[in-house]
């Protein structure tokens, strides 16, 4: 449950915490925000934890932002794992993502570059083909125009012969 008093940074850290838990295999119904747990070892009876992932086999507490060291130590006694999401964790996650995906990004970048190169060649080949077709068509166009002129002349001769035949 998000309270209206949280800073945008704290809210963002909580979203990152949820993503971390999902990546670790927790289902949405196994992830809780603003979770309370009791611990009697230091005189405090309750801790509010920003986000937890709890299933039958494993429990993870995630604190967002600045957290007291004693709280982390006590939570480690209750949970299998305690994670603190702060600016350093965000940088660590970014670097982790970058190393995981850098090769994929570089491979895709190279594939895009290769495709652009192939497209240039296809365009050059297409232009060359168009030029070859145009050089073959030019003489045919000229011959077609000459045949049209001959046809017009023949039509004129036939029309004149028809008129002459009608008069005789």
Radius of gyration of the chain measured on its C-alpha atoms = 40
The predicted structure's pLDDT at residue 43: 66
Query: Is residue 99 scored above 80 in pLDDT?
Result: no
Nearest to 20 by CA among 73, 86, 74, 70: 86
| 90 DSSP assignment | H
Most confident of 2-11, 33-42, 49-58: 49-58
pLDDT per position as a tens digit, 7-47: 888 888 899 999 999 989 999 999 999 999 987 766 667 88
User: Which of 56, 85, 114 is the C-terminal boundary of a domain?
Assistant: 85
- pLDDT, residue 46, reads 83
pLDDT score recorded for residue 81: 95
Residue 92 domain flag = no
- pLDDT more than 70, % of the chain: 89
Q: Is the same domain home to 57 and 22?
A: yes
Token readout for 160 is 């004149």
In the listed set 33, 58, 85, which residue is the last one of a domain according to the structure? 85
| Owning domain of residue 112 | 103-168
49 contacts 63 by C-beta, under 8 angstroms: yes
Q: Supply the mean pLDDT for the chain.
A: 82
Cα torsion angle, 94, 95, 101, 105, sign: positive
Residue 98 lies in a domain: no
Q: How many domains does the chain have?
A: 2
Any idea what the CATH number is for the domain that residue 42 is in?
3.40.1350.10
Q: For the residues 159-168, what does the mean pLDDT come to? A: 76
Average pLDDT over residues 60-88: 90
């Amino acid at each position: 449950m998000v309270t209206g008093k949280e800073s945008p940074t704290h809210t963002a850290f909580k979203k990152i915490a949820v993503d971390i838990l999902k990546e670790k295999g927790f289902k949405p119904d196994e992830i809780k925000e603003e979770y309370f747990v009791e611990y009697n070892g230091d005189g405090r009876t309750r801790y509010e934890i920003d986000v937890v992932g709890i299933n039958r086999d494993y429990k993870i507490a995630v604190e967002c932002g600045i957290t007291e060291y004693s709280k982390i130590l006590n939570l480690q006694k209750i949970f299998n794992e305690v994670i603190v999401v702060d600016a350093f964790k965000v940088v660590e996650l970014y670097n982790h993502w970058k190393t995981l995906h850098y090769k994929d990004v570089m491979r895709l970048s190279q594939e895009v570059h290769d495709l652009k190169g192939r497209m240039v060649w296809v365009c050059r080949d297409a232009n060359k083909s168009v030029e070859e077709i145009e050089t073959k068509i030019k003489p045919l166009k000229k011959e077609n125009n000459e045949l049209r002129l001959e046809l017009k002349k023949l039509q004129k001769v036939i029309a004149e012969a028809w008129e002459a035949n009608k008069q005789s």
